[in-house]
């Protein structure tokens, strides 16, 4: 990414490569581990509530879900057509937090939803709110697996998911881990499955948040990374927001899907 950027302390960078060298080094595993430790540490100090996971902007929750639902409904019809009614739909909620998206959106459309989240008290809050006695969703729609892992260490079960949902979390990953995650996650999709990515977008370049160790990338920056991942941009939609613009991307693999038998998954531990 050649465009310059800045951090929240006011430092300017010529390009993303300069910033990443400063933040995680080149081949410096210890420095990168510290980067991720600080990021998770920030969220470990945040209350497990809608307002907490939305950074004090809990009032955007309803509008966020409504916009996401409109985008998702059209995609499901476009991708699965007449077979949608009889299809057993499975989704993965990445960076699920307290299960806000799973509870308010995904469980209304998917028969099974798995959640992956690195912050333990967020995931426990999600599990508690999504158990059958606390959920208003029918038995035909349920949260199944709760994975306590960061995305850079997560490998989904091969061929399990119709949709992998990634919202307001991929900014925690460095560029190389971003690309590695999506390449692994592609094998977790069914042959006609797809990704939905919903993230804040910078006007140009990037903005590095020094508090939570996350990066807000521009639309061009995202598209460059998607291309490196081998992803095709199927559809996108933008939304105005208070701080940054928000954009949704629907993405499919550019290559023919490998069969389940040819993919070996490092299946993570599950919180029951």
pLDDT band for 264, please (50, 70, 90 cuts). Answer: very low
Residue 266 resides in a domain? no
For all residues of the chain together, what is the average pLDDT? 91
**pLDDT of 98-145, one tens digit each?**
999 999 999 999 999 999 999 999 999 999 999 876 665 667 899 999
Task: Tokens 């019809």: give the residue.
Answer: 77
Name the pTM for this structure.
0.91
Residue 173 has pLDDT above 70, yes or no: yes
Which residues are CB-neighbours of 63 under 8 A, at least 6 positions away? none
pLDDT band for 2, please (50, 70, 90 cuts). Answer: confident
Residue 262 resides in a domain? no
Please give the average per-residue pLDDT across 219-238, as a whole number.
Answer: 97
**pLDDT of 3-60, one tens digit each?**
899 999 999 999 999 999 999 998 889 999 999 999 999 999 999 999 999 999 999 9
Residue 56 resides in a domain? yes
225 in a labelled binding site: no
Cβ pair 171, 199 in contact under 8 A: yes
Residue 152 resides in a domain? yes
Cα separation, 237 vs 247, whole angstroms: 6
Please give the average per-residue pLDDT across 161-167, as a whole number.
Answer: 98
Cβ pair 245, 218 in contact under 8 A: no
Residue 201 has pLDDT above 80, yes or no: yes
Work out how many domains the chain is built from and give that number: 1
151 in a labelled binding site: yes
CA distances, 240 to each of 63, 64, 174, 199 (Å): 11, 11, 25, 12
Residue 195 resides in a domain? yes
| Cα dihedral 100/101/104/110 (nearest 10) | -140
Cα separation, 102 vs 44, whole angstroms: 20
CA distances, 64 to each of 25, 61, 122, 244 (Å): 35, 5, 19, 14
Which residues are CB-neighbours of 109 under 8 A, at least 6 positions away? 72, 73, 76, 89, 91
What one-character DSSP code corresponds to residue 131? S
Cα separation, 187 vs 173, whole angstroms: 19
Residue 184 resides in a domain? yes
Range of the domain at 237: 5-252
Residue 168 resides in a domain? yes
Cβ pair 29, 22 in contact under 8 A: no
Q: How many residues does the chain have?
A: 272
Which percentage of the chain shows pLDDT scores above 70? Answer: 90
Cβ pair 209, 39 in contact under 8 A: no
In this prediction, residue 28 carries a pLDDT of 85
Cα separation, 78 vs 81, whole angstroms: 6
100 in a labelled binding site: yes
In this prediction, residue 87 carries a pLDDT of 95
Cβ pair 3, 218 in contact under 8 A: yes
Residue 186 resides in a domain? yes
Q: Is the dihedral of CA 40, 38, 197, 244 positive or negative?
A: positive
167 in a labelled binding site: yes
CATH code for the domain of 106: 3.40.50.150
Q: Which of 59-68, 161-170, 234-243 has the lowest mean pLDDT?
A: 234-243
């Amino acid at each position: 990414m050649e465009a310059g950027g800045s951090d929240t302390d006011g430092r300017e960078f010529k390009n993303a490569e300069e910033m990443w060298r400063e933040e995680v080094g080149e081949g410096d595993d210890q420095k990168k581990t510290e980067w991720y430790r600080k990021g998770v540490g920030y969220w470990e100090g945040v209350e497990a509530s809608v307002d907490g996971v939305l950074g004090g902007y809990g009032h955007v929750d309803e509008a966020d879900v409504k916009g996401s639902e409109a985008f998702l409904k059209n995609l499901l019809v476009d991708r699965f057509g007449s077979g949608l009614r009889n299809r057993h739909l499975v989704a993965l909620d990445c960076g699920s937090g307290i299960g806000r998206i799973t509870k308010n959106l995904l469980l209304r459309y998917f028969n099974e939803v798995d959640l992956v989240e690195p912050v333990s008290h967020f995931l426990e809050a999600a599990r508690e709110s999504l158990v059958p006695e606390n959920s208003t969703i029918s038995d035909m729609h349920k949260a199944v697996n709760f994975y306590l892992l960061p995305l850079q260490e997560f490998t989904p079960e091969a061929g399990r998911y119709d949709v992998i949902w990634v919202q307001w979390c991929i900014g925690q990953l460095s560029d190389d881990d971003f690309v590695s995650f999506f390449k692994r996650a592609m094998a977790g999709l069914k042959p006609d499955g797809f990704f939905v990515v919903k993230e804040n977008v910078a006007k140009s370049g990037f903005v590095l948040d020094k508090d939570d160790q996350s990066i807000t990338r521009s639309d061009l920056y995202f598209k460059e990374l998607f291309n490196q991942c081998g992803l095709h941009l199927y559809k996108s939609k933008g939304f105005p927001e208070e701080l940054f613009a928000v954009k949704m991307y629907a993405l499919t693999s550019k290559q023919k899907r490998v069969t389940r038998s040819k993919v070996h998954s490092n299946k993570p531990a599950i919180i029951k």
